[in-house]
């Protein structure tokens, strides 16, 4: 987006071959002003950078206010479903459960509209994709591993039992009880 403001920035998916990314020995630390290019003066670049940063901050504050409002509505719906469930306790459980499920669905749809909601759904999709890549053990490997865990647990339990008995015997021997 602001690639002309910075030099030596590696695009996503590629790695630099050196610390300076082919720009010689000039320092690429962010505290240095970028070299002039394409007829832009440094002051023009800084003004443009400030304007773009202000615009993105303004958009973030607008979406932040919207997200806050949506989260407030989500929590109100959830609290209302709990209160309604206890208030209408004389109704059959199936009807109350259906009402709670509908309220949860509406709350989930509203939560999805927020930035955190969309990122959570994206994370869940990526997690599901990663779970498909896992090589799961077959039945025989699972049984063998389970038996090994049980055997080691039993041995450690027996060791701790014997160690506890030894320590009790030593304490009784020292204290004379």
The two structure tokens encoding residue 59: 């958009």
Helix (H, G, I), strand (E, B) or coil at 90: coil
Helix (H, G, I), strand (E, B) or coil at 30: coil
pLDDT in tens, the chain (177 residues): 544 444 445 445 545 555 555 555 555 555 545 554 555 455 555 555 666 555 555 555 567 889 999 999 999 999 999 999 999 999 999 999 999 999 999 999 999 999 999 999 999 999 999 999 988 899 999 999 999 999 999 999 999 999 999 999 999 999 987
Separation CA 61–CA 52 (nearest Å): 14
Separation CA 85–CA 88 (nearest Å): 6
- How many residues are present in the chain? 177
Separation CA 81–CA 167 (nearest Å): 56
Q: Are 111 and 66 in contact (CB under 8 A)?
A: no
Q: Are 8 and 19 in contact (CB under 8 A)?
A: no
Helix H or strand E segment including 53:
helix 42-87
Rounding to the nearest 10 degrees, give the CA dihedral for residues 94, 96, 98, 101. -130
Q: Are 37 and 4 in contact (CB under 8 A)?
A: yes
Separation CA 66–CA 106 (nearest Å): 17
The pLDDT of residue 4 is 47
Separation CA 148–CA 159 (nearest Å): 16
The pLDDT of residue 55 is 55
> How far is C-alpha 159 from the chain's CA centre?
40
CB neighbours (10 Å) of residue 52? 13
Separation CA 44–CA 33 (nearest Å): 12
The two structure tokens encoding residue 61: 């504050």
Per cent of the chain over pLDDT 70 is 65
Q: 87-102, pLDDT tens digit by residue?
A: 999 999 999 999 999 9
């Amino acid at each position: 987006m602001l690639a002309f403001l910075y030099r030596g920035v590696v695009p996503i998916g590629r790695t630099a071959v050196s610390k300076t990314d082919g720009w010689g020995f000039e320092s690429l630390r962010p505290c240095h002003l970028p070299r002039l290019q394409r007829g832009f003066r440094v002051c023009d670049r800084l003004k443009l950078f400030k304007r773009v940063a202000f615009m993105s901050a303004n958009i973030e504050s607008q979406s932040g206010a919207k997200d806050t409002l949506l989260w407030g509505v989500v929590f109100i719906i959830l609290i209302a479903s709990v209160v309604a469930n206890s208030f209408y306790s004389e109704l059959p459980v199936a009807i109350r459960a259906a009402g709670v499920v509908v309220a949860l669905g509406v709350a989930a749809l509203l939560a999805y509209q927020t930035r955190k909601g969309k990122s959570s759904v994206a994370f869940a999709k990526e997690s599901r994709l990663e779970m498909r890549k896992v090589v799961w053990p077959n039945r025989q490997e699972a049984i063998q591993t389970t038996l090994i865990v049980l055997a080691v647990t039993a041995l450690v339990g027996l060791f701790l039992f014997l160690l506890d008995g030894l320590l009790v015997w030593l304490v009784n021997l020292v204290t004379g009880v």
